[in-house]
Structure 1
Amino acid sequence: MSSLDAEPHAPGADAPRSPGPLLAIESSCDETAAAVIAADRSVLSSVVSSQAALHERFGGVVPEIASRAHVERILPVIREALAEANVTPTDLSAIAVVTHPGLVGSLLVGVTAAKTLAAVWDLPLIAVDHLRAHLYACRIAYGEEAFPACGLVVSGGHTNWYDCPDAVRATLIGSTIDDAAGEAFDKVARLLGLPYPGGPSVQQAAEHGDPTAVPLPRPMMNRPELAVSFSGLKTAVRYAALGNPNSPEVPAPPLGERRIADLAASFQAAAVDVLVGKCDLALKQTGRPTLLVGGGVAANRALRVGLTDLCERRGVRLCIAPMELCVDNAAMAGLAWESFERGEFAPLDCDVTPGLVRA
């Protein structure tokens, strides 16, 4: 009998006991993930199946390909997470699943699997906000003292700032008005002929370049509102790489290896300057003693250095999600324990919400 075929919980068992771990499922975009998290927020297992190779030739995520891959991978990933944690369904206290935001087809795969398992195993279902979970990854890594805090979620699909008075509440206070930071990295990588995903490839190329070689704008950096824009920066990189159609008499330098490295380094420096500058503004606005940072772009080394310097100057505690919790994963859905402890469960007819839920 496989771990997914175990008998459901016997109804009516009322003997008090400490809660067992919960199973968390994440399928919001292009990673199929499952994790088992104990009540003390320790991660007993975390399994992530990346689809990067499937989307590489397109330079970005193709929703239909992503959802089909989730269908193929969801049950093997869940089985592996349970086996790695050495638990069976009868050990579990709940099923947690990310329901928003994300790609609708991808979300539906994870939510359908979670609903089915919750019904078969007679377990409560908990809906998880993907963006709040990115911030909660810091709670898993640093403990309860991570809150209250100002939070930044910086990823391929989102660049958002939050005011977080505690682990449950997160009020959106600022965001990008166009491209997310990770999306800009992907588009610049494709422009420069670098591999997908763009974050790691731009960072690698930038290590061999001069961040001051190409003067690039820092859009909206010095404006008082907590908002950013990366479309103008992306366009400036395009003109520097391929030439400005408005000035055809001034050709762009050849796009050789050195030029690519300099453009990557200059773009990365500009993007980091903007993100760090707006984090400074968010800390001033909220007055919080801690800065939480999660999401795929939080793995960028230059951004980590810039945020470390900022927080040291301001006397603020910096909590950046560990590398393994920056990319989309299910361990960060340990956020579901906050709902479990409050008795807040989702009905089996709950639905997905693809767009951003503004708290």
Structure 2
Amino acid sequence: MSDSIILGIESSCDDTSAAVLKGNKILSNIAANQEIHQQYGGVVPELASRAHQQNIIPVVNQAIIKANIQQKDICAIGFTRGPGLLGSLLVGTSFAKSLAMSLAVPLIEVNHLQAHILAHFIDDANPKPPKFPFLCLTVSGGHTMIVIVKDYFDMEIIGKTIDDAAGEAFDKIGKIFGLDYPAGPIIDKISKVGDGSIFKFNKPKLDEYNYSFSGIKTSVLYFIQKEVKKNPDFILENLNDLCASVQKTLVEILMDKLEKASLDFNINEVAIAGGVSANSGLREAMQKNAEKLGWNIYIPKFEYTTDNAAMIAMVAKLKFDRGEFADLSVSATARYDIEEEFKKEI
């Protein structure tokens, strides 16, 4: 079973991805991006689902060819059931069900958020995988949460955002600055030549381990509106420092809660996952805490941070070994309660 070959399919948002995994080793991980959304400043669900329909067959075919396998070698097919955009999920779910039926192999449903966390167990994701229990800050465009990972399928969410996700805040603030979508990576790049101490933005005061990012977005908007009235070129003249200051504030918000959780639960095994885990400021903050607080940190390879099918295949492999298969009647769901998934798996 350890050398089972799993085909993973990911289509939760605007990336169509397919991966082949043998054991814990990724043989291929192919993704097709959808650049059409840039002109709209965000993902347009109807356009995303149409693009998935065009991309899914070529992407799966490329993944199989690059892995140097044949369809008959596939032991099971894992797919993202949710959460995500329903139209996008339907394309991946329908294709996975059809292919599983035609190959007469098991079908395995995967929770997208769970996959981000368990991507750390792909062979080349880290020099070595995290030890249980570990804390995982899962942070992306749609989700921000701190999870205690006690085992592969025993996890507890101890904190999450009560409004916007961190990645969403990056993108919306970038839009205020006039940057292209997605703005997060652009802010990250520009911030490297700016001074993050120039502009101060308020950080939310929430109990325990929950997050809020709507306040900083509003704070930046009002600040920019006020300054632009005085100087129409304010953004252009201060863009480097604005980006650096926003990034510094957002990273501090994320890390403050993660540090608190680490101390309160006495856990020094700490990981990050999700699209925003590619952010250089967040990675640097993790490295500093490793030195300051004695954390053993786990930062995944860039290719496993954004939405990808390798992480879907990894969870599918773990479920395959446990004999946990989905019925062909399974349907995609935009709101896939990860806490219910954890309870179900235990």
TM-score exceeds 0.5: yes
Q: If the length of structure 2 is used for normalisation, what is the TM-score? A: 0.92
Distance 2:170 2:2 in 1: 45
Q: Is this contact kept in 2: 1:35–1:330, CA < 8 A? A: yes
Aligned to 2:343: none
Q: CA deviation at 1:295?
A: 0.7
Equivalent AA in structure 2 for residue 56 of structure 1: Q
Structure 1 segment 116-155 matched on structure 2, within 5 A:
116-140=98-122, 141-142=125-126, 143-155=128-140
SS in 2 for 1:136: helix
Q: CA deviation at 1:343?
A: 0.6
Higher relative contact order (CA 8 A, sep 6+): 2
Instruction: Give the equivalent residue in structure 1 for 2:246.
Output: 267
- Among residues 276, 287, 305, which one is paired with 1:308 in the alignment? 287
Instruction: Judge which range, 196-205 or 307-316, deviates more.
Output: 307-316
Contact preservation (8 Å) 1:63, 1:106:
yes
- Alignment check: 8 A CA contact 1:168 1:338 kept: no
Question: Partners in 2 of 1:277 and 1:356 — Cα distance?
Answer: 28
Matched letter for residue 25 of structure 2: S
The reply to whether residue 344 of structure 1 matches residue 324 of structure 2 is: yes
Q: Do residues 45 (structure 1) and 28 (structure 2) align?
A: yes
Alignment of 1:102-113 (within 5 A): 102-113=84-95
For residue 39 of structure 2, what is the amino acid of its counterpart? R
Partner of 1:62: 44
Query: Does the CA contact (< 8 Å) of 1:97 and 1:114 recur in 2?
Result: yes
Q: CA separation of 1:300/1:103 partners in 2, compared to 1, >3 Å: closer, same or farther?
A: same
SS of residue matched to 1:200: helix
Q: Which residue of 2 aligns with 1:237?
A: 220
- The CA deviation at 1:235 is 1.1
The question of whether the paired residues in 1 share the 8 Å contact of 2:269 and 2:295 is answered with: yes
* Equivalent in 49, 66, 73 of residue 84 of structure 1: 66
Amino acid at match of 1:115: K
Q: Deviation of residue 19 (structure 1)?
A: 4.7
Task: Map residues 249-268 of structure 1 onto 2, 5 A cutoff.
Answer: 251=230, 254-268=233-247
Identity %: 41
RMSD: 1.7
TM-score if structure 1 supplies the norm length?
0.89
1:25 aligns with 2:25: no
Aligned residues: 335
- Contact 1:203/1:264, CA 8 A, preserved across alignment: yes
Q: Point out the structure with max Rg over C-alpha.
A: 1
Deviation at 1:284, TM superposition (A): 2.4
Q: Residues of 2 paired with 1:54 and 1:192: CA distance?
A: 21
Q: For the Cα contact (< 8 Å) 2:12–2:80, is it kept in 1?
A: yes
Q: Flag structure 1 segments of 5+ consecutive residues without an equivalent.
A: 1-16
Unaligned 5+ residue runs, structure 2?
A: 340-346
Query: Residue 82 of structure 2 corresponds to which residue in structure 1?
Result: 100
Q: Distance between the aligned counterparts of 1:147 and 1:139, measured in 2? A: 12
Q: Is the 8 A contact 1:276 1:310 kept in 2?
A: no
TM-fit CA distance, 1:137:
1.4
